[in-house]
């Protein structure tokens, strides 16, 4: 799947369904279950490697897992790959070199975290043929500064997030992940932008949803409040994935209990 097909889905009113994915077998199953976006997330630092944050993940790690996921999906899902910590922050040219490796490994788009500081990086990448997904709200790569907690609760911070979102869109970002922000703010951002938003802990009013696959399967010892165990009560992994996709598309997930 390529970006125009994905955007056509979103602009037709369909909610986009995304999950993190790290290997070929899971990619094949997710694609067959109708998951639109397979996010090769730097969350693999915690889910696969056992770290307590995403920070130790290397570009080589991201390339390896992106290649595996792309092979498994075989063109049947959209591959979104994270730019890992330290691979893009110093300069737009550094970001391009890193992103080019992920695209060569099979990614259809790269994702980076941050607002106004990275507007020129987004512009630099998109003008050179690399689609970009921006990421605002809780930024896992900045956990040492922010911690894992709800962001943009004050009006000044909310306005800054909206301003950043507009600037990133103007610079060429095609998608925007909103993580751990108030549902009301996510709705406001979604209504203001012309590009789709993908929520995680941001309420039901985004244009789509993403979860970490380990949270969806109940494998996280202390899951975040916005997660739901979709494997519970299902007879198979396939059934759990299909239940998640259906719940997102019908606007049934996330519910009020998953929003703050």
Residue entry with tokens 């209990």:
257
Beta bridge partners of 138: none
Q: Which residues contact 167 (CB under 8 A, 6 or more apart)?
A: 115, 116, 119
Q: Is 111 helix (H, G, I), strand (E, B) or coil?
A: strand
* Interaxial angle between packed helices 24-32 and 59-73, expressed in degrees from 0 to 180 and rounded to the nearest 10: 40
Q: What single DSSP character describes residue 182?
A: -
Q: Catalytic: which of 155, 170, 179, 184? A: 179
Dig out the tokens for 129 from the structure. 């043929």
Length, in residues, of the chain = 260
Round to whole Å and give the CA distance between 86 and 74. Answer: 29
Round to whole Å and give the CA distance between 39 and 234. Answer: 23
Residue 50, burial from CB neighbour count under 10 angstroms (0-12, 13-18, 19+): exposed
Q: Is 222 helix (H, G, I), strand (E, B) or coil?
A: coil
Q: Is 38 helix (H, G, I), strand (E, B) or coil?
A: strand
Q: Clarify whether 184 is annotated catalytic.
A: no
Q: Report the catalytic residues.
A: 179
């Amino acid at each position: 799947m390529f970006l125009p097909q994905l955007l056509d889905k979103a602009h037709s009113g369909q909610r986009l369904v995304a999950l993190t994915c790290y290997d070929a077998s899971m990619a094949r199953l997710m694609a067959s279950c109708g998951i639109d976006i397979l996010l090769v997330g730097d969350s693999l630092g915690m889910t696969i490697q056992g770290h307590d944050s995403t920070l130790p993940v290397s570009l080589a790690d991201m390339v390896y897992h992106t290649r595996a996921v792309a092979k498994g999906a075989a063109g049947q899902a959209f591959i979104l790959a994270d730019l890992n910590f330290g691979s893009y922050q110093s300069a737009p040219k550094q970001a391009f070199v890193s992103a080019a490796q992920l695209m060569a490994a099979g990614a259809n788009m790269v994702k980076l975290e941050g607002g106004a500081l990275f507007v020129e990086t987004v512009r630099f990448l998109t003008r050179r043929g690399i689609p970009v997904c921006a990421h605002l709200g809780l930024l896992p790569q900045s956990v040492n500064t922010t911690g894992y907690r709800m962001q943009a609760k004050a009006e000044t911070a909310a306005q800054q997030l909206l301003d950043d979102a507009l600037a990133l869109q103007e610079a060429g970002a095609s998608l925007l992940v909103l993580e751990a922000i108030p549902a009301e703010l996510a709705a406001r951002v979604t209504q203001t932008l012309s590009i789709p938003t993908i929520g995680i802990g941001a309420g039901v009013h985004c244009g789509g949803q993403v979860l970490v696959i380990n949270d969806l399967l109940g494998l996280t010892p202390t899951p975040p409040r916005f997660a739901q165990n979709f494997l519970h009560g299902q007879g198979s992994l396939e059934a759990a994935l299909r239940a998640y996709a259906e719940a997102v598309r019908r606007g049934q997930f996330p519910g009020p209990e998953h929003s703050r």
